[in-house]
Structure 1
Amino acid sequence: MAAASNRLDRFLARRLQRSLKQIRLDLVKGRVKVDSELCDEPAQLVNQFTRIDYDGQVLQHNQPIYILLYKPVGVVCATKDAQHKTVIDLIDHPQKHQLHIVGRLDLNSSGLVLLTNDGRWSSALTDPKQKVPKVYEVEVEQPLTASYVTAFAEGMYFDYENLTTAPALLTILSTRTARVVLTEGKYHQIKRMFGRFRNPVLKLHRISIGHYHLPSDLHVGEWRKHYVKVAVY
């Protein structure tokens, strides 16, 4: 989903259905503006959020969108679903169908979900190499002990995928509740890790992804636009 950069002359040639030679002459003649500034450089790199004007006509003026959503239990992290309401269904925004989901939660989990049209931003948050922390509150069926803390910190081997999970921080909050911090996101990872203790997860709730936190005044099923001053890629 990354927002790829492209040469200005190639973008204009495709958009205007003109040859590269014609486009380069237009650039020399001062017919093109990039981000409201005259540009005569064919190799200037542009992306989906670069404003481009040609002869005073706006060819592209997309704005990045960043949304925080409080996902309820029973809603799926998908753009379309034949059986369940989706996170996209909860959003009232004219460009909602251009958005993709950053960090999914399963049907029976709740909490913070991020949505955006900025592929570079979402890739930076979900790239395992970046080790972006994701924080969850978990309620389980059976009492927790110090052995859970040790096992999560050491990582667990799953033979089906032939992988060992990265160390995870588990903090016991009460007899049957804990806070878990992951820096990766394997399939149903938290439920499977507690499954090693044959201890079913009753509730799973995400409170943050990196430095993006679920706002305390955002209610279940609500969403809001978030202003990202500088999107870190």
Structure 2
Amino acid sequence: MRLDRFLSETTPLTRSLAKRALKAGEVALNGEPVKQGARQIDPEKDAVTWQDEPLALLGKRYLMLHKPLEVECTARRGLYPRAIDLLDVPEVERLQPVGRLDVDTTGLLLMTDDGQWLHRITAPKRRCGKVYRATLAEPLEGEAAANAIARVAEGLWLDGDETPTRPATLRMLGPREAELAISEGRYHQVKRMFAALGNRVVDLHRRAIGPLELDADLAPGEWRALTEDEIALF
């Protein structure tokens, strides 16, 4: 790995600022000052310091967050706190949400700095399933529920879309409580699907992504690292 790239991945320095730090003599390699950013190093064997502070690669990170209400899944600061603001980890800005949840939607949100792993989950061709629990404004039961379940299984036409939704699974947990499993990620899809059924979503919670379910021990706003077995699910 080039030394300047190593510096940009282990410090707040950009590539250009890393070059300035090198020229200023702030960087040492195995105890000796070095000024060449193109110098090849072995991150596992070579000792690099910046302003006498030892540096080390963080490695890839995979986190599970129970996203609460009124939290945004964006990089820019806006009206609401960001999901990454809830994470107490180094270089938090490098983490990306694996898919997004609306500000008024709670539940499972995965975060990572492994772009390939993120792509395996979010790529449309992968058809990674997601399970949501919705509270509805109007009761849906009896024949109306049976009709809704059948329509969802066939695919719904959503306003403004050129193709119907992929076949999905709707399960009623109560007159106003439903669980919906989908395998795509259209804009506001769950809310629009229930709107197409003549209803409205009051509360929405994501319970699972693929085979991975939200840890029941995580309260809203809490997070934990994924286990190796969980990472290998995708």
Q: Calculate the TM-score normalised by the size of structure 2.
A: 0.74
Q: Would you say 1:72 and 2:61 are equivalent positions? A: no
3-state SS in 1 of match to 2:228: coil
Q: 1:52 to 1:139 in 2, by over 3 A?
A: same
Cα separation, 2, equivalents of 1:151 and 1:70: 31
Q: Is the 8 A contact 1:155 1:165 kept in 2?
A: yes
CA drift at 1:135: 0.7
1:202 maps to which residue? 202
2:186 maps to which residue? 186
Q: Structure 1, unaligned stretches of length 5 or more?
A: 1-10, 24-31, 34-50
Q: Is the 8 A contact 1:77 1:106 kept in 2?
A: yes
Q: 1:222 to 1:232 in 2, by over 3 A?
A: closer
Aligned Cα RMSD in Å?
2.3
Q: Is the 8 A contact 2:74 2:83 kept in 1?
A: yes
Q: Calculate the TM-score normalised by the size of structure 1.
A: 0.75
Q: What is the count of residue pairs matched by the alignment?
A: 193
Cα separation, 1, equivalents of 2:96 and 2:194: 29
Q: Structure 2, unaligned stretches of length 5 or more?
A: 6-35, 49-54
Q: Is the 8 A contact 2:153 2:169 kept in 1?
A: yes
CA drift at 1:148: 1.1
Cα separation, 2, equivalents of 1:12 and 1:83: 39
1:111 maps to which residue? 107
- Structure with higher strand content: 1
- Cα deviation digits, residues 25-71 of structure 1 (max 9, x gap): xxxxxxx65xxxxxxxxxxxxxxxxx565xx3469734111110011
Q: Is the 8 A contact 1:121 1:231 kept in 2?
A: no
- Cα deviation digits, residues 150-191 of structure 1 (max 9, x gap): 111111123523122111100111111111101111000010
Q: How does 1:214-225 map to 2 (within 5 A)?
A: 214-225=214-225
3-state SS in 2 of match to 1:202: strand
**Aligned residues: percent identity?**
37
2:20 maps to which residue? none
3-state SS in 2 of match to 1:67: strand
